[in-house]
Homo-oligomer: A and B are copies of this chain.
Amino acid sequence: MTVMGTARPAGRPRSERAEKAIVDATLDLIGEGTSVSELSIESVAARAGVGKTTIYRRWANKEELVGDALATLKAPLPEIEGRTVREDLIAYLDVMRQDSLTVRTRCIMNIAMSEPERHPRLYERFQRTAIEPRRAAMRAVLERGVATGELRPDLDVEMAIGMLTGTMLWYTKGAAHGLLPGGVVPADLAPRIVDEALRGFRPS
């Protein structure tokens, strides 16, 4: 008899190795610039060294596979709790900058962000698991700054988030495609953005 209360179903158990290979292959292909619509189950199977059957046994369609794959990238969300608001904001923005340096992260971001109308549930899910936590963390830092008097009491926190994040995104997006003078995101971009923004965020 089985020790576990929930009896393991008879037969050969599903291979965790195969499952991981499938998810990895999916992320790899997306990371190489394949859009969701271009991504084919066959290419995933080939890349993963797996039969199509093994994929269809676990996921009903492409969208669910991609959804699960992207969900495994739960933002590590570095535990930042520095001293000043400035330092914390710089730390968060610099995570974005570093992320933008890896092609894989950039492509995945691109996919997850750029096709919301075509894959609304996918977009929503990624937003919830990856974006919103980071936004909340930044919001907490800003609200703490307002509470301590480091920032203006009437600061529009949501807009402040938008200014910081939007500016960094503008740069990373532009630099990735040769719009910036140097063609690369400057290493000191995070502190520059934060310092420029804080100039208006501080009490007058």
Contacts and interface: CB of A to CB of B under 8 A. Distances in A.
Contacts of A163: 163, 166-167, 193, 196-197
Contacts of A110: 114, 117
A128 to B, nearest CB: 10
A35 interface: yes
Contacts of A167: 159, 162-163, 166-167
Interface in A111-167: 113-118, 120, 123-124, 127, 156, 159-160, 162-163, 165-167
A177 B35 contact: no
Contacts of A170: 162, 165-166, 169
Interface string A162-185: 110111111101101101000000
A38 interface: yes
Copies in the complex: 2
Contacts of A176: 116
A127 B178 CA distance: 11
A193 B116 contact: no
A8 interface: no
A27 interface: no
Contacts of A204: 199
A169 B163 CA distance: 10
Contact of A196 (B115, B156, B169, B193): B156
Closest 5 CB pairs of A and B: A200-B200, A166-B170, A166-B166, A114-B114, A199-B200
